[in-house]
Amino acid sequence: MMVINIRDGMFVGINPILNCNLNCEYCFLHSEDSKKRISEQKNADYHSAHEWYEGLVWLNDNVNTIINLDIFGGEPLLYEDIGELINAIPLEVHIGLDTNSIKYERLSEIHKDRRTHMHLLISVHLDGNGNIPRRYHAAAEKVKELGFNNVTVNFVAYPKQIRKADIVRTFATEYGFAYHLEPYINYNPVNKGIGKFDSVDDEKYAWDRFTEADKSGLIKLKKRKYPIKCFIGKSYLLVMENGNIFNCWGKMMAGEKPIGNIFRKEISEIPDEIDCNVFCVCSQNWRDGFS
């Protein structure tokens, strides 16, 4: 695996759309804090692929070189210009697309050369009986037909469904996709972070299945003494659907003020270290995982 120095370039997460066609109980969109912000942001203008592209070029030139662009939401395949946006990004930038795959037909709008370069993350959400809905099989067939060759099936280690993790892994293996069990984090900072499992056995079941990188990230998060100094600085930025820029997910979830706006092309000076008092989903953990 290529080793990327944390200062060598920037990871940017963008949410071109906050709407979703699912309603997952654990989603960050449902925390009280998120609901408030989402309702405030609901009327934000729609921003075209061209506007996003211009904004990203500006970030790249004025903050740091973008080496990784993660596109999520909401559900990014509901974003009208998703194909146009992805096709416009140079191949040197590693793109990740995180989708629930309901609108999988739209993946055909992504050019073939992009499909073979990007990372497609299909987040599986089980039905009410805890089974894998049939549409995921249809989506998996389509993804293979279209030639995506870097695909990961992601399953959130949500306490109520944790015992289904192996079913999802079997599904991923069946199609030759990688599998990732995403540590469930309670996305509401007020609840102080990592989800509580229903029993000690369930918790052990989950921890036995997390990757080493995830385990060390979670342990680090639990052991932190706050406030801490964070180096995330110019190495990670999150951009919401209205263009507001945050240092990271944690800062956004904690309801802190944006540090700029990608469409207005304004950003405040980013110090090398920032103070953090957020015990919540932490972009540093994910950014760390690549170094």
Q: Which residues bind ligand SF4 (CB under 6 A)?
A: 20, 22-24, 27, 29, 73-75, 100, 123, 125, 230, 232, 247-248, 250-251, 274, 276, 278, 282-284
Which residue lies nearer to ligand SF4 by CB, 38 or 85? 38
Q: How far is the CB of 184 from ligand SF4 (least distance, A)?
A: 11
Which residue lies nearer to ligand SF4 by CB, 118 or 276? 276
- Residue 151 bridge partners (DSSP): 120
Q: How far is the CB of 181 from ligand SF4 (least distance, A)?
A: 15
Residue, CB closest to ligand SF4? 250
Buried b / exposed e along 215-231 (16+ C-beta atoms within 10 A): eebbeebeeeeeeeebb
Q: How far is the CB of 112 from ligand SF4 (least distance, A)?
A: 26
Largest separation between any pair of C-alpha atoms in the chain: 50
Which residue lies nearer to ligand SF4 by CB, 116 or 277? 277
Q: How far is the CB of 224 from ligand SF4 (least distance, A)?
A: 8
Residue owning tokens 């990188």: 213
Q: How far apart (Å, rounded) are the C-alpha atoms in residues 181 and 162? A: 9
Q: How far is the CB of 36 from ligand SF4 (least distance, A)?
A: 16
Q: How far apart (Å, rounded) are the C-alpha atoms in residues 155 and 107? A: 20
Q: How many CA atoms lie within 13 A of 163 on its CB side?
A: 8
Q: How far apart (Å, rounded) are the C-alpha atoms in residues 241 and 276? A: 24
Q: How far is the CB of 23 from ligand SF4 (least distance, A)?
A: 6
**β pairing state of 119-123 and 151-156:** parallel
Which residue lies nearer to ligand SF4 by CB, 42 or 50? 42
Which residue lies nearer to ligand SF4 by CB, 38 or 276? 276
**For the chain, where are the E strands, in sequence order?**
10-14, 66-71, 94-99, 119-123, 151-156, 178-182, 228-230, 236-239, 244-246, 260-261, 266-267, 274-276
Which residue lies nearer to ligand SF4 by CB, 55 or 189? 189
